[in-house]
Amino acid sequence: MGAPSLFSAFPEALRLRLQSLAVPRNFAAGQIIQQHGDEANGFWVIEQGQVKIGRYGDGGRFQVIAILGQGDSYGELAMFGRFARVVDAVAVNDVRLYWISSARMDRIIEEEPSVSRELLRLLSGQLQEALDMLIARRRLPAKRRLAKSLLLLVRGTEGSAVVNFTQEDLAELVGTSRMTISVALADMEARGLVKRSYGRIEICDIARLEDC
Amino acid sequence: MGAPSLFSAFPEALRLRLQSLAVPRNFAAGQIIQQHGDEANGFWVIEQGQVKIGRYGDGGRFQVIAILGQGDSYGELAMFGRFARVVDAVAVNDVRLYWISSARMDRIIEEEPSVSRELLRLLSGQLQEALDMLIARRRLPAKRRLAKSLLLLVRGTEGSAVVNFTQEDLAELVGTSRMTISVALADMEARGLVKRSYGRIEICDIARLEDC
DNA sequence: GACAGAATGTCAAATAGTTTACAATCTAAG
DNA sequence: CTTAGATTGTAAACTATTTGACATTCTGTC
Query: Strand order in A161-163's β-sheet?
Result: A161-163, A200-203, A194-197
B4 pLDDT exceeds 60? Answer: no
Interatomic separation, CA of residue B167 and C1' of nucleotide C26, rounded (Å): 14
Please, where are the H alpha helices in A138-166?
Answer: 142-153
CA–CA dist A161, A159 (Å, integer):
7
Nearest-by-CA chain B residue for A78: B124
pTM of the model: 0.83
Mutate which of A73, A112, A124 to disrupt the B interface (most B C-beta within 10 Å)?
Answer: A124
Chain B partners within 8 Å of A2 (Cβ): 131, 134-135
Chain segment B130-159, per-residue pLDDT in tens:
888 777 777 889 999 999 999 988 877 888
The confidence score (pLDDT) of residue A3 equals 47
Chain segment A114-156, per-residue pLDDT in tens:
888 989 999 999 898 888 877 777 788 999 999 999 998 887 7
A192 pLDDT exceeds 60? Answer: yes
Highest mean pLDDT among A181-195, B24-38, B79-93, B104-118: A181-195
Check if the beta carbon of residue A53 is closer than 8 Å to that of residue A95: no
Is the distance between the Cβ of A138 and the closest atom of strand D smaller than 7 Å?
no
Beta carbons within 10 angstroms of residue B202's beta carbon: 13
Q: Nucleotide C19: nearest residue by CA–C1'? A: B177
- The DSSP code sequence of A185-203 is HHHHHHTTSEEEETTEEEE
Chain A partners within 8 Å of B117 (Cβ): 106, 109
The confidence score (pLDDT) of residue A4 equals 57
- The residues that bridge with A13 in the sheet, in sequence order, are none
Q: Spell out which residues of B between 174 and 203 contact strand D, using CB within 7 Å.
A: 178-179, 182-183, 185-186, 196, 198-200
